[in-house]
Structure 1
């Protein structure tokens, strides 16, 4: 072969070799690195229930994202968002996920702006609480006791006695609410005898205009064909529950467990909301139709309208102008 022809062949082979080398270079980022598909961050549990107006969601306890390390050749891939109730958790970061209108932040035991707060760690009647039987003050230990054997946090809780020492079906404490007729209340409740939310009407808590047993204005957190709001037998239930086309479909809370109840009461705008374990369950607008007097007190305990009597425990009660939130588990 002539020298100039041989030189051309060698040059062509060198050019082809360089093209092969370029196409095998993985550092261009064309193929995702090993770590890029990571990110299992449990940023938050589901927020709200799909009903309108969900201003909060479940407290997203933070099992952080376990995003793996970046690939060896290119830049690290994005560590998949952890879709939570109200915010995305970037893979690999720990802690709780808090976010926008669908997610609530972790709660505190006693907010700084509280009007009442108690974990029932003392054997005396909590400061600010009022106990009345038959419209008269009495000894609160007839119907309540501090129980050191069952509690959500701390070392004790408030237990309603069964049977009632006073003989009254009304076993409730009244505590002050913020001025203006609008407030939040948070408490943990537990029942041993049966699930909460039976068909018959009984009352666990509520917003009222006075601390009297028979308040003229009261929006009850009650059971009446399941967990519900009730005022003068005008009942609101979680969506899909209650009386559905004439058939009882009660929403119940399991016995033997602590349940975080958050209530947003507004007697001015007439919007009442119920959150259970951080999830919006009832969003009652234009409810009730009228409010004669603004809410001034929050009541909790048990008002046995139909019964049966039962043992109920309360813990970590907080009332104030802002949402206290459910406590971290």
Structure 2
């Protein structure tokens, strides 16, 4: 599903567009990957009602009174939108967003924003989305599609033994300030099956390589991998970053997304936290908190912004947001990862 520039959802196929003539101008922008935590208990409070009840900003909060407790989405969405708008984000990859959450974020972010994505349960409106939001004044969407991270990636499906359907939203954008193209892949790997995570990572690697070879531009991968860089669950991260061999995937997918002449055989994704100048990397490290307001051994880094090694991009700053307000409200059980990119 695509929210077009008139705010109406529409479907269209992924259309391959030829590389454009090179442009020497540079676009610098901030993007974020953010697992919003799905809304398990909707309270039917509208965005307007939430905004109408905002407290006087001059009043001192009751410090940490909400710490360690999951708050309703109707409250959390306000803090998330405030964070994103104050950070000057131009592109966002969300995970775990139900349709009502997608619509809430669209309303809160405003008319300069549009979004791309489908629900993973039916390829339309049901289930969680991995939507890509973008500022229309900065980017123009020129192509998009969704594929499932399973042995049948071109239809609604689940990997055997996985906890649920898993998808990737793929979009190609054009910078309005130049003729440069940018491809964004946004995903959420399985929380239960390590086999699914490795399989999904192998599909993402193939698709990323195809995008890099055919567009001639940078490719960015955002998402919740449920796979840290080290440890027993690090296989998916290893596959995506070229440290672990990929697994064999669906033949049709491989054939469709293998560029002619076997271009970029050594393609992999690079971790922007590693590629950013060290002084410009924030002190926060962990991205998953599990609602714990204090650092514990359960905190881990599983949310990433990666860039293809075909380059065309530079990461100038990387920050893991605090994701908690003075009153102790945690905006999600994941923290946002902000990255400043130049393309």
- TM-score with structure 1 setting the length: 0.33
- Structure with bigger helix share is 2
Larger gyration radius, structure 1 or structure 2: 1
- TM-score with structure 2 setting the length: 0.32
